[in-house]
Amino acid sequence: TKRWNVDTNKEQNERMIIEAANELTSGGTVAFPTETVYGLGADATNEEAVAKIFKAKGRPQDNPLIAHVATKEQLMQLVNDVPAYVDKLIETFSPGPITYVLTSNGTSAANVTAGLSTVGVRIPSHPVALALLRACNTPIAAPSANLSGKPSPTTADHVWEDLAGRINGLVDGGPTGVGVESTVVDCTQDIPIILRPGGISKEELEEVVGTVMVDPALLHADSKEKPKAPGMKYRHYSPDVPMWLVEGGSARLQAVYDELVAEGKQVGILANRNTLEKLEVQQSISLGESLEDVAASLYDGLRKYKQGDVDIILCETYPQIGIGQAIMNRLKKAASRYVEE
Ligand code: TXA
Ligand code: MG
């Protein structure tokens, strides 16, 4: 796996981007930063190249990939029948952390869409991602660049830890910004439906297009409905040691911690700074202050606790407003146990 470090001078950057783009357009796999998480890219029109992504990640074959493009024109080249509200969404949120699920016109390779009649398309806003996509001038299929089941990568080192030796290249552009993946929106119906909460919140979408629905399968943990985004049915984001999600604020967190320590367990805490100030614990990782901070540092926090360091991670819950919806969606998937108040 070749590694390019792009935070040096501009001329070198351009050369590295061109090398990485050549690797992609000749059928290789290259991981690169986006504003959400690192993606593992391959030419979306090349079925053999796309197959390498599934192999490198150990990804289930029935889970479709997002096609990444640099412009609205390129996006339109992949799809049919775009409802009027999609124009508004694109104008407001793209480039940015949102993926549109639209009717595919068959341009993407069959394994990108996992045989579905729809394709997920997104225009990332990260300058390195955009430069790479422009240099490739072909849509790039890219899931998050982690081993299937692990927390998504928000630094190049996370990608390296999971995929070194399994992919052709890695463009290191430093830590990503948003930290949780894009919002996946089904735009094939009269009303947009959120299939995966992410970097753009439901509230933000509603300001632009009015009513927005949420896939009913996401709303209740015990829902028998099948999620419309195939990836949402899998358990994801599993840390190296079990994580319990603890409701009820700092007092409850302290109580659960004390009980586990009394049983002889080594316990690591994941919480924001305010909560940590109220706790008396041995090992903790701060997720920052705001919900935006928590989103940005969540996957790194989950990856930092390794087997041998602690037996169990305790993480607090967050209000499901704004990006809090994406945070709680990911935390519930990562948790092995939900400790109710
Ligand atoms: O922020 C992101 O979206 C990152 C960066 C790299 O762009 N990518 C990402 O990809 O998170 P991935 O493959 O880890 O997640 C894509 C999600 C999966 O849950 C998948 O099932 C869903 O999007 N998806 C993709 N195409 C779809 C389609 N045509 N219909 C329904 N769901 C789709
Ligand atoms: Mg993923």
pLDDT in tens, the chain (341 residues): 999 999 767 788 999 999 999 999 999 999 999 999 999 999 999 999 999 999 999 999 999 999 999 999 999 999 997 999 999 999 999 999 999 999 999 999 999 999 999 999 999 999 999 999 999 999 999 999 999 999 999 999 999 999 999 999 999 999 999 999 999 999 999 999 999 999 999 999 999 999 999 999 988 766 678 889 888 887 778 899 999 999 999 999 999 999 999 999 999 999 999 999 999 999 999 999 999 999 999 999 999 999 999 999 999 999 999 999 999 999 999 999 999 98
Tokens 């190249």 sit on residue: 49
Q: Is 65 touching ligand 1 by the criterion CB < 6 Å? A: yes
Longest dimension (CA), the chain: 61
Centre of ligand 2 to C-alpha 107, Å, is 23
Closest among 245, 271, 274 to 335, alpha carbons compared: 245
Rounded distance from Cα 84 to ligand 2 centre (Å)? 29
Pairwise CA distance, residues 305 & 124, whole Å: 30
Residues in Cβ contact with 295 at an 8 Å cutoff, skipping those fewer than 6 apart: 178, 179, 180, 199, 323, 326, 327
The CATH architecture one would assign to domain 2-232 is Alpha-Beta Complex (3.90)
How many A from CA of 181 to the centre of ligand 1?
Answer: 8
Query: Which tokens is 254 given?
Result: 């302290």
- The DSSP letter of residue 87 is H
8 Å CB contact between 145 and 132: no
What is the DSSP code string of 286-302? E--SSHHHHHHHHHHHH
Residue 80: exposed, middle, or buried by beta-carbon count in 10 A (0-12, 13-18, 19+)? exposed
> Could you count the other beta carbons within 10 Å of the beta carbon of residue 226?
10
pTM for the model stands at 0.97
Say if 2-232 and 243-339 have the same CATH topology: no
CATH number for the domain running over 243-339: 3.40.50.11030
Does the Cβ of 123 fall within 6 Å of ligand 1?
no
Q: Which atom of ligand 1 is nearest to the CA of 232?
A: 19
Listed by start position, the domains of the chain span 2-232, 243-339
pLDDT on residue 226: 86
Q: pLDDT at position 138, please? A: 98
Nearest CA to ligand 1 atom 10: 143
The pLDDT, as a whole number, for residue 339 is 94
What is each CA distance from 288 to 192, 223, 272, 277, 304, in whole angstroms? Answer: 32, 32, 5, 12, 15
Residues 6+ apart with CB under 8 A from 75: 69, 90, 94, 100, 121, 123
Query: How far is the C-alpha of 148 from the C-alpha of 64, rounded, in Å?
Result: 13
**Residue 233 confidence (pLDDT):** 82
116 lines ligand 1 (CB under 6 A): yes
Nearest ligand 1 atom to alpha carbon 145: 6
Question: Distance, CA 203 to ligand 2 centroid (Å)?
Answer: 23
75, 45 contact by CB (below 8 A):
no
ipTM above 0.90, yes or no: yes
Chain position carrying tokens 């029948």? 81
Q: Do 230 and 64 form a contact (C-beta atoms < 8 A)? A: yes
* Residue whose tokens read 């840390």: 239
Rounded CA separation 154/30 (Å): 15
Ligand 2 midpoint to CA 53 (Å): 12
- Whether 112 is in the pocket of ligand 1, judged by its Cβ within 6 Å, is no
